[in-house]
A and B are shown apart, each in its own frame.
Chain A
Amino acid sequence: MESVLPAVLGVLALAGGVLVFRCDSMARATFALLLSLCCVGGEVALLGLPYLGVVTVLMMIMEMVVMAVFMIAYMMNPAGLMPMSMLHNKRGSLALSAAVFAALVAAVFLVPWPDRRGGPPPDTTVQVGRALMGGQMLTMIVLGFVLLATMVGATVLATRRGRYDRFGDALDRRTPRDPVGGGVGR
């Protein structure tokens, strides 16, 4: 039992990964990828990190649903309704993936894996929290600001209308003139 469940999840994750490149519909490819990522989340939970495992599943579902919307809206074929293929540059990618696979397999056998010292802590969630909020606090804060700046920057670059379009030349318009109404003040 100890090894059956991880093996099943591993095979499912791989099958999902293969399906991404076999499906001819963007929706199916996205959800095949989601299956793969959820299995990875399950593996993490089985490794004794329930918080990271469940959070992986949570974030990946949200992410993949949003991605499906954008992929279908903007990618290769209109609305994603025509059959499509996720395979591009077949020879190059085949060579690259074969090399990476070979390197990873070689690493499995060549790396001197350490033996376990001590037992796992009773609550690994606390350990994760300590690591993030203790030793890596500065990293997390910087990361947070960089992420936020990226989001704001991307939005500013993507929108054609600036604040003067919305609030008038003197910025004195009470409610912004937007093509689509929002929920606050209108």
Chain B
Amino acid sequence: MTETAAWWSLLAAPALLLAGAVLAVAGDALLAARDAGRPTTVRTALRPLLEVPRLLAAQPRRLPAADRLLWRLGVVSVPVAAVLSALVIPFGGTAVADLSVGVVWFNAMEVVTWGGLWLAGWGPNAAFSLIGGYRFVAQGLAYELPLMFALLSAATAAESLRVGDIAQAQHGLWFAVWMPVAFAVYLAGVLAFSFLGPFRHPAGEDIAAGVLGETSGVDRLLLEAGRWLWLTSGAAMAVPLFLGGGSGPGLPGWAWSSLKTLAVLAVLVWVLRRMPVVRADRYVEFAWVVLVPLTLVQVLVPALLVLGR
């Protein structure tokens, strides 16, 4: 049974999430170095972390007629939503808050990123960042429905919206095994809401880093941290949804949860560097013409199984 953890888990959960995000960033730096033929040492892995003090000390950029309030609001909401989404993810047998509607909570927090990134694009009063914000909304319209159906597949099979129950319901056979479409679409969704890898179109190089482009200093740090926190949170959520949660032989639940999370995170980070950027308008058509029908059929499978049970 999943239980609600002690009060200090409110501090431990964000710390764990941050640790996962740092590992992901380090792994990404190592892969980048290997691809470029540079030496892959500990120094290479830790190099991106040097950005943190640099950004903290950087002078903030000022723009004429920026909407500072909305801009700040958007920038802050991305990492905050990522941390809040992690509160419902069970770590072994405990979650900070095992809400009865945990899946919907995770989904709602992920949608906060829509508002956040659009505001981060709108706030600076600059063309490229605004285009970045619009691109994320288009990308959101593309990934959201398939992602929702993927979440629904897991919830339907477990007959519960509680994340702990979904993890419990997969004794022996993981949902990832018999619902591969939902699992794949979910992982694509994770990349999309962290706007990384093939889904970094909103922060694309062609528009000078888009939503990130006009931010500097702490703002930049928060947005960059937000997307990696989202990647980690999405990877952690994949474990109870599709990979049996903390269950496994020999090791305690928390160990299995971390191992599986790190494995999913590693796969996601590897994929980041292996795929070209997908344009939002192209992904919209692909999502609506191919992914929505596919995931609908995927939801039908557990629905029929539950009905026949």
Contacts and interface: CB of A to CB of B under 8 A. Distances in A.
B40 interface: no
B134 A183 contact: no
A123 B100 CA distance: 8
Contact of B108 (A34, A58, A125, A180): A58
Given A27-B122, A54-B101, A125-B101, A180 B107 contact: no
B205 interface: no
A50 B100 CA distance: 8
A29 to B, nearest CB: 11
Contact of B118 (A65, A123, A182): A65
**DSSP majority for the A interface?**
helix
B209 interface: no
Interface in B235-292: 278-279, 281-286, 289-290
Interface stretch (B109-117, B184-192, B215-223, B226-234): B109-117
A62 B144 contact: yes
B161 A51 contact: yes
B70 interface: yes
B105 interface: yes
B280 to A, nearest CB: 10
Given A50-B100, A51-B104, A65-B137, A58 B282 contact: no
Given A31-B70, A69-B137, A182-B285, A54 B108 contact: yes
Contact of A66 (B99, B107, B137, B289): B137
Contact of B111 (A51, A61, A69): A61
B3 interface: no
Contacts of B100: 50-51, 123, 125
B88 to A, nearest CB: 11
A183 B139 CA distance: 13
A64 B137 CA distance: 11
B51 interface: no
Given A27-B122, A61-B112, A54 B104 contact: yes
Contacts, number: 79
A62 B67 contact: no
A135 interface: no
Contact of B101 (A50, A61, A65, A181): A50
Nearest to A41: B108
Contacts of A51: 100-101, 104, 161
Contacts of B279: 183
Given A28-B70, A180-B281, A181-B282, A65 B114 contact: yes
Size category of the A interface is 20 to 34
B236 to A, nearest CB: 19
A184 B70 CA distance: 36
Contact of A182 (B111, B115, B119, B282): B282
Nearest to B289: A184
A142 B282 CA distance: 32
A12 interface: no
Nearest to B136: A65
Nearest to A124: B100
A51 B155 CA distance: 13
- Chain A CB within 10 Å — which of B67, B111, B284, B290 has the most? B111
A164 to B, nearest CB: 20
Interface in A133-186: 180-184
Nearest to A56: B108
Contacts of B282: 181-183
A31 to B, nearest CB: 7
- Chain A CB within 10 Å — which of B100, B107, B134, B283 has the most? B100
A50 B144 CA distance: 21
Interface string B6-41: 000000000000000000000000000000000000
Interface in B100-147: 100-101, 104-105, 107-108, 111-112, 114-115, 118-119, 122, 134, 137, 140-141, 144
9 contacts: A28-B69, A61-B114, A65-B118, A66-B137, A69-B118, A69-B137, A125-B100, A125-B161, A182-B286
Interface of A: 25, 27-28, 31, 34, 50-51, 54-55, 57-58, 61-62, 64-66, 68-69, 123, 125, 180-184
Given A66-B137, A183-B281, 10 more contacts: A27-B70, A27-B122, A51-B101, A51-B161, A54-B105, A65-B137, A69-B137, A125-B101, A181-B282, A182-B289
Shortest beta-carbon contacts, A-B, top 4: A183-B282, A182-B285, A183-B286, A58-B108
